[in-house]
């Protein structure tokens, strides 16, 4: 496992010379009033302690992420599947209307428990060069190319369902992608150590936790649904409240062997 950080500073922080002295290669985005600096760095980099100190002193933005090797992923029974390629916005491009048209609303404040009742609509067909898996902003949905479904069916992967994607420009189902959904939901399984920054909705009482950025997620084995290759966590995460997608070793192995793009895989430790 390697922990990477995406670092950002703005012009007023005045860290340019410090970064130059450490020979940090960064990208500079020029804005109407100044600029921002962005770069990635791993904690194994010998310069990380100095960068960490600069972050604390100048209060830069730091987003961390754990990256696992294929060997580490395939050593575990269950894996988190996380969409990482977003293709625009669902239609209509009005968040409230999109939610009303697409979901049965369970909680008007936090969205926990919202159940999808209609296909998601996209403005146009994704290009053929897009990854095998894609998602869209405002959702934690997962779309895949038809070839993915063919391979999952060939390997008898259990536990998923599908919904069509409607293309607004034609009013018809997409010729290239389909939404893949996960009806099975685990029982409460999250270890206490992973219940980070809990927040409880004042209306429905549903708790949510911070997205786990570093290391492994820990889940109780006896709380997982048996007989399926994919399921959702009982628990909700993140600012937008989503359930994590869990897939079996078999499912993860197919993704890795085919080098399918558009998702990241993070192994789980069962307890």
Strands across the sheet containing 61-67: 27-31, 34-42, 2-10, 61-67
Q: What is the reported pTM? A: 0.89
Residues 206 and 169 in one domain: no
Query: Does 256 lie in the same domain as 205?
Result: yes
Domain identity same for 199 and 78? yes
For 87-125, write each residue's pLDDT tens digit.
Answer: 899 999 899 899 999 999 888 888 888 889 999 999 999
Query: Do residues 77 and 103 share a domain?
Result: no
pLDDT category of residue 51 using cuts at 50, 70 and 90? very high
Same domain flag for 222 and 170:
no
114 and 173, same domain (yes or no): yes
Per-residue model confidence as pLDDT tens digits over 219-240: 999 999 999 999 999 999 987 7
Question: For all residues of the chain together, what is the average pLDDT?
Answer: 94
| Percent of the chain with pLDDT strictly greater than 90 | 85
Q: What is the pLDDT of residues 210-220, one digit of tens each?
A: 989 889 999 99
Q: How far apart are CA 179 and CA 186, in angstroms?
A: 21
Segment 234-254 mean pLDDT: 93
Rg (CA), the chain: 20
Query: Which pLDDT belongs to residue 34?
Result: 86
**Per-residue burial over 121-149, b = 16 or more CB atoms within 10 Å of its CB, e = otherwise:** bbeebbeeebbbbbbbebbbbbbbbeebb
**Looking at residue 84, what is its pLDDT?**
92
pLDDT tens digits, 129-178: 889 999 999 999 999 999 999 999 999 999 999 999 999 989 999 999 99
Residue 206 has pLDDT above 80, yes or no: yes
Mean pLDDT of 178-192: 97
CA distances from 184 to 169, 204, 219, 245 (A): 33, 22, 16, 10
Domain closes at, from 127, 149, 181:
181
Same domain, 192 and 263: yes
- Please identify, among 181, 198, 227, the residue that sits at the C-terminal boundary of a domain: 181
The verdict on 51 and 23 lying in the same domain is yes
Task: Report how many domains make up the chain.
Answer: 3
Answer yes or no: do 141 and 101 share one domain: yes
Residues 203 and 164 in one domain: no
Expressed as residue numbers, the domain containing 162 is: 90-181
- The CATH number of whichever domain residue 53 belongs to comes to 3.30.70.120
The rounded distance, in Å, linking the Cα atoms of 240 and 131 is: 24
User: 138 and 188: one domain?
Assistant: no
Domain stop point among 164, 181, 198: 181
Do 169 and 201 share a domain, yes or no?
Answer: no
């Amino acid at each position: 496992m390697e922990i990477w950080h995406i670092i950002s500073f703005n012009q007023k922080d005045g860290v340019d010379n410090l970064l130059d002295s450490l020979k940090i290669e960064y990208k500079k985005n020029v804005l109407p009033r100044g600029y921002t600096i962005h770069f990635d760095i791993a904690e194994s980099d010998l310069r990380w302690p100095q960068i960490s100190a600069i972050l604390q002193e100048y209060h830069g933005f730091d987003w961390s992420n754990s990256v696992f090797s294929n060997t580490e992923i395939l050593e575990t029974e269950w894996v988190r599947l996380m969409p990482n390629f977003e293709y625009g916005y669902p239609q209509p491009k009005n968040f409230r209307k999109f939610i009303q048209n697409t979901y049965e609303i369970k909680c008007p404040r936090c969205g926990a428990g919202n159940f999808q009742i209609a296909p998601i609509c996209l403005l146009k067909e994704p290009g053929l060069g897009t990854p095998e898996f894609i998602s869209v902003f405002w959702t934690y949905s997962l779309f895949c190319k038809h070839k993915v479904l063919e391979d999952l069916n060939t390997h008898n992967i259990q536990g998923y369902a599908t919904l069509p994607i409607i293309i607004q420009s034609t009013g018809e189902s997409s010729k290239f992608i389909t939404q893949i959904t996960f009806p099975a939901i685990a029982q409460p399984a999250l270890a206490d150590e992973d219940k980070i920054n809990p927040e409880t909705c004042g209306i429905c009482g549903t708790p949510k936790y911070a997205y786990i950025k570093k290391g492994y997620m820990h889940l109780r084995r006896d709380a997982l649904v048996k007989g399926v290759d994919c399921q959702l966590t009982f628990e909700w995460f993140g600012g937008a409240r989503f359930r994590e997608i869990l897939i079996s070793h078999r499912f993860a192995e197919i993704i890795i062997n085919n080098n399918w793009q558009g998702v990241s895989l993070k192994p789980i430790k069962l307890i």
